[in-house]
Every structure is written in structure tokens, then in C-alpha cells.
Amino acid sequence: MTVLDHKDIKDAAAILRAGGLVAMPTETVYGLAADATNDQAVAKIFEAKGRPQFNPLIVHVAGPAMAKRYVAVPPLAEKLMAEFWPGPLTLVLPRKEDGKISLLVSAGLDTIGVRAPKHDLAQALIQSVDRALAAPSANRSGTISPTRADHVKDSLGDRVDMILDGGPSPVGVESTIVKIDGETVTLLRPGGIARADIERVIGCPLSSASGTIEAPGMMTSHYAPDANMRLDAREQKDGEAFLGFGAVKGDGPAALNLSESSDLAEAAANLFAYLREADRLAKTNGLKTIAVANVPMEGLGEAINDRLKRAAAPKA
């Protein structure tokens, strides 16, 4: 459990109420937080990240009661909140007309993605501010997501007013995002809650996304290192850094392994930090490509493969 520094929480809350930016730890990745009801504060997020404004932001709340200030919560959403909140599940729900969330947050859509983070510092900060916080990943848009405070500092520098250091993010991949429309639940982005676990709770298969950008992380190229990437690699070739998984291992100074024991939870927690380190090793050793071993498409493997595919996509 994180030891709370009440002065840091108080200082961070004051910055957010004044319209500033605070990088806060969550169980998934570090988020770049701003008051979600303040148009100018939300605009600072886009400016700091260099983020396309058609890409929506997730709103972070303390729990279901706070969520109901801003969005309509049907019974199916309440069921998912009861099972998975606080935790890495974002629900895309209809915004309330009187909810006061900035239209910049939802990129003009009539829905908002909300979640309750499972991290002591994030919860303490949200409760101290007592309003929703818009918080995409605390990094330059399109680059590797941050799972430690030093990643935020390296990526954003003085673009953020304060960084709350909560140690490494234990989940390491962003939240799963689902949209609820009546009795239909659509998977918009795989993440820290596995598809099968959600389907167990709702009692039916998840629908597939249409391809329209309705939530963060749906752009084709995202989470990208500077080096090129080669996926589903069976071995490390000359001129490559290597990210292994299980028994598929690389060799040399630019080889890492997401999980030598083939543990998908461990691989997810390591993913962004190891992508960042592999990119650094590639540069250091004059390599142009990061090869990545196959990761099974089961459980958290779906989220891992989604991030790897977007990281390997041609950059815009």
C-alpha cells in the first residue's frame, strides 16, 4: 500500500483547482490529470501532450456516486462498477446535460468514458479535489505510456506542474474500455480487465467496435517507440533489440524478457517500461529494430497484443 503524503495531496489538489496539471499514479499507467470541468485546464492537457483533439479523454472519479454526477448509469453499468471498481475498467456512458464536464474531454461526443482508479494516491487526490479529473497517460501523444514517475519527467518535463510519485504502476497497461448502449456492451479497447471476465459478469459476448474513435487508444499508431518493430519474432536477428516472452529469449546487451515464466500479468506490468528500455538499448547499440516474441491472445494477452500492434503501426 502506498504511504500517503497528505501535504503532497493537498498541494496537488490546490494545483488542480487552480487549473493546473498534475501527473498522478494509477494502477494502470501514470495519468496527466486536470479538472475535467474546466475547459482551459483540459486544453492544457492537449497542449502538453501534443494530442489530437478528436481523441477523447477518460474521466477519473472516486466511485459510482461521483460518476452519477456526470453520466447516466444504467443497471448494467452499475453491475460492472460493483464487480470491477475501483480498477482498470472504463465505461463509456451518456453524459448528463447538467454534468459540467468539458466538451473537450469527450471530443464533442455525447458520451464520456469514466473509471475509478485503484490506487491510494489517485483516490486521495480525486477525493480531495472532489470533482472528476480528466487524465490520459502522462506522456507525449503517441509515445510509450509511463509506468513510473521518471518516465513522466522524461516525456513531459516542465509541461506538468507537479508529479506525484506512487512507485511503479502494478497493472502496467491501460484500462479496458467498454461502451454500454442499452443491453449491448461493446469492447472499444482491451486492457487491464480481460474480455472473459467482463463477459462472465454481463452473461453474453462483447460486441466489436465499429472502428470510429470513441475512446482513447483507438488510433492506429499509438504507444510507439522511435525504433521500428517486428512482431511475432521467433528469434533475434542481427541488428535487432529483442523483447522475449517465456522460452523465446534473445541474447546480448539489447535483449529483455517480458516474463520468463510466461506470466501474462507480469508481461503486462512490464510492457511499457520494457518497450521504453528496449528503445533506449536500440539507440545505444546502433540498432534500428525491436523484435518482439509472440504473446498468446488470451486473457491480458489481448491487451498486450493490441498495444504492440499499435506501437508497430506506421507513424503518421
Q: Does the annotation flag 6 for ligand binding?
A: no
Q: Does the annotation flag 55 for ligand binding?
A: yes
Q: Does the annotation flag 155 for ligand binding?
A: no
Q: Does the annotation flag 128 for ligand binding?
A: no
Q: Does the annotation flag 28 for ligand binding?
A: yes
Q: Does the annotation flag 189 for ligand binding?
A: yes
Q: Does the annotation flag 115 for ligand binding?
A: yes
Q: Which three cell numbers stand for residue 130?
A: 472532489
Q: Does the annotation flag 151 for ligand binding?
A: no
Q: Does the annotation flag 111 for ligand binding?
A: yes
Q: Does the annotation flag 221 for ligand binding?
A: no
Q: Does the annotation flag 141 for ligand binding?
A: no
Q: Does the annotation flag 145 for ligand binding?
A: yes
Residues making up the annotated binding site are: 28, 51, 55, 60, 111, 115, 135, 137, 145, 175, 189, 223
Residues making up the annotated binding site for ATP are: 51, 55, 111, 137, 145, 189, 223
Residues making up the annotated binding site for L-threonine are: 28, 60, 115, 135, 175
